[in-house]
Amino acid sequence: MLADLEELVTCESYSADLAAVARSAEVVAAQGRRLLGAAPRTLVIEGVTHLRWTFGTPRVLLLGHHDTVWPIGSLTTHPWSVEGGIARGPGVFDMKAGLVQMFHALASLPSLDGLCVLVTGDEETGSATSRGLIEDMARQCSAAFVLEASAPGGALKTSRKGVSLYEITVHGRAAHAGLEPEKGINAATELAHQLLALQGVADSVAASTGPGTSVTPTVMRAGSASNTVPAQAELSVDVRVPTAAAQEAVDRLIKNLEPQLPGAHLQIDGGPNRPPLDPDASRKLFALAAGQAAQLGLDPLRQTAVGGASDGNYTAGVGCPTLDGLGAVGDGAHADHEHVITATMPERARLLAHLVGALR
């Protein structure tokens, strides 16, 4: 398993580099072909490479991704290593160890009939090209197991917040900041008004639908020169919601924002990206997993709710029972200390194999 993990981690697969993602897909396909005994169907959508294995009529979906957030060259600063039972390297935790565990789990089964394995190439950027593939397969299946990394301590993820993403562009009017600033419409000042308005959106949603919603301004840009009234300003907004009702309420409030400066104009793009993964979508599958873990003599399974989203949000959103976080045990997704506890990899593979077997 460690040799296979090294093979995946040392093939860098930064989401934005489509050629690198294609090279990674070839490595993942070869590994899957060796362990599953079958070649995948390679699906290239808008330049992004995804892989799908289908065995018979699918009833259980196993879902993962092979792209990472790490730019090409990260192996120089974050090299592959295994020391003291800890594996490190870009993407090792999120989520290449999950792919290795999945392939080895399935290789241990006497039959793969009824399974679909989908490994996508754009999860880290929002799954724009793979969402249709994911949802189509999920609608055909009675369960989805997501090989994303576990929560701290190996906890499974039985609830995830939904995600909405917005881009707010303010159109103003440029003018010389020294000679005639009054003739301009300052887009940066208008954007400041909108920042204050966004502070009230989460409070309003909490009052109407309950707590748990966050509305976070992230990236801002304004102006073109230090002596010019900014004609344009841009703001990215990240929204996390616990319920579909909260997601709808946020969407309505943000799209109804109004400019405060005379003559300023707002352009609001974006909207809901991933629906929430409701705990009800995971309840029965978690109970099954807990029972299987007990039979295998593993430590009692824990579950948790997390703010981050995954493709499990999509499978649950179309009504497919979903259990997430079945992948690696470790820490540091997207961070310098990203790592996997190697001794847990065979245990998680056995758990997944028994889960799949119990459903077929």
Residue 175 sits in a domain whose CATH number is: 3.30.70.360
For residue 103, the enclosing domain spans 2-159+278-358
Number of alpha helices (DSSP H) and beta strands (DSSP E) in the chain: 10, 16
Do 306 and 349 share a domain, yes or no? yes
Helix (H) or strand (E) holding 163: strand 162-171
83: Cβ contacts below 8 Å, ≥ 6 apart: none
Question: Which of 274, 302, 324 is a domain's end point?
Answer: 274
Identify the bridge partners of residue 220 per DSSP, sorted by sequence position.
Answer: 235
Do 76 and 221 share a domain, yes or no? no
| Long-range contacts from 213-220, C-beta under 8 angstroms, 24+ separation | 213/239, 213/240, 213/241, 213/242, 213/246, 213/250, 214/238, 214/239, 214/240, 214/307, 215/239, 215/250, 215/254, 216/240, 220/191
Question: Which of 274, 297, 315 is a domain's end point?
Answer: 274
Do 24 and 70 share a domain, yes or no? yes
Question: CB neighbours (10 Å) of residue 242?
Answer: 22
Q: What is the pLDDT of residue 206?
A: 86
Do 19 and 142 share a domain, yes or no? yes
Tokens 């290239």 sit at which residue? 44
Q: What is the DSSP letter of 343?
A: T
Question: CB neighbours (10 Å) of residue 140?
Answer: 14
Q: What is the pLDDT of residue 308?
A: 87
- CB–CB of 87/275 below 8 Å? no
Do 149 and 169 share a domain, yes or no? no
229: Cβ contacts below 8 Å, ≥ 6 apart: 172, 173, 174, 175, 176, 177, 181, 184, 185, 186
Q: What is the DSSP letter of 17?
A: -
Q: What is the pLDDT of residue 209?
A: 86
| Encoded tokens for 350 | 């056995």
DSSP code string of 175-228:
-BTTT-GGGSB-HHHHHHHHHHHHHHHHHHHHHHH-S--EEEEEEEEE-SSTTB
Q: What is the pLDDT of residue 124?
A: 95
Question: Which of 231, 259, 274 is a domain's end point?
Answer: 274
Q: What is the pTM (predicted TM-score) of this model? A: 0.89
Do 264 and 234 share a domain, yes or no? yes
Q: The domain spanning residue 30 has which CATH number? A: 3.40.630.10
Q: What is the pLDDT of residue 62?
A: 98
Q: Among residues 283, 277, 279, 286, which one has the least CA distance to residue 316?
A: 277
Do 269 and 170 share a domain, yes or no? yes
39: left (phi over 0), alpha (psi -120 to 50) or beta: beta
- CB–CB of 166/271 below 8 Å? yes
Q: Among residues 180, 168, 167, 262, which one has the least CA distance to residue 229?
A: 180
Do 112 and 45 share a domain, yes or no? yes
Do 338 and 264 share a domain, yes or no? no
Do 19 and 41 share a domain, yes or no? yes
- CB–CB of 299/120 below 8 Å? no
Give the strand pairing for 339-341 and 330-331. Answer: antiparallel
Q: Cα–Cα–Cα angle for 153, 154, 155, nearest 5°? A: 95
Tokens 């701290």 sit at which residue? 152
Do 237 and 333 share a domain, yes or no? no
Do 17 and 126 share a domain, yes or no? yes
Given a cut of 50, the residues of the chain with pLDDT beneath it are none
Q: Please tell me the total count of domains within the chain.
A: 2
